[in-house]
Amino acid sequence: MRFACLFLLLALGYPLSAQELTREQLETELDAYRRVLLDWGGLTRYGSENAELKPQPGRVVFLGDEITENWGPEFFPGKPYLNRGITRQTAAQMLVRFRQDVISLQPAVVVIQAGTNDLASVMGPSTEGTMAEHFMSMVELAKAHKIKVVLASVTPVCDCFTKMTGRRPVGKILGLNGWLKEYAAKNGLVYLDYYSALVEGRFFKRSFTVDGLVPNAAGYAVMAPLAEKAIADALAR
């Protein structure tokens, strides 16, 4: 069974590091791919909830992957913030649902947090140019609808619990973050640097993460005031 799972993942373009995964991890990966085949962009995840929402002044949408999805509302009590994170998503998939999960909700600000799964080739190989195009398209859509943009950095990873750096090399994370920071500066956007606040040396500080990729409560507690400041800066521009 394990070899069958491995063969299918490799056929889907999963990197050779799949050979390092356990049977349970392989089956989890395959289940995730099955869901993607049914709804590649993740449009069903928040579709019904969005339809029930009414416009709200000062609304902020956090668009992202598992880093965003696992961030509980208790960090922003009473704030008109909406979490629109979906685990394992890439920037390409977020672009597909950008109109539904951002534009249609009429937010004042969108916080875009993406890239870690692009670097890990979760949905297949992704070049630097392709990633950049997806980010630029989301920004251009937001600007066209007068939505202020905060571009969040890719967060660090560590091999504290399981092997993470094989699929998300430190150099590639730093490279993408450098591009995001430069692009934000050139286009009047706010760059939200989670990376510097969570890193220790070149890796995710162990006390800030649950698995080497996703922050824990302590990590999110560090990120929350940074996000608040970035949102305030965006609104002030």
Convert the pLDDT of each residue in 100-135 to its tens digit: 999 999 999 999 999 999 999 998 888 999 999 999
The structure tokens 């992704």 sit at 126
Determine the 3-state secondary structure of 43 from DSSP: helix
Determine the 3-state secondary structure of 199 from DSSP: strand
The pLDDT score that the predictor gives to residue 20 is: 56
From residue 174, give the alpha-carbon distance in Å to each of 58, 124, 129, 157. 32, 20, 15, 11
Write out the H or E segment, with its range, that includes residue 83: strand 81-85
Domain parsing of the chain, residue ranges: 1-38, 55-236
pLDDT lower than 70: segments of the chain: 1-21, 25-37
Return the CATH number of the domain spanning residue range 55-236: 3.40.50.1110
Cβ-in-10-Å burial (0-12, 13-18, 19+) of 210 comes to middle
Half-sphere exposure of 62 (CA within 13 A, CB side): 26
The pLDDT score that the predictor gives to residue 26 is: 67
pTM for the predicted model, two decimal places: 0.87
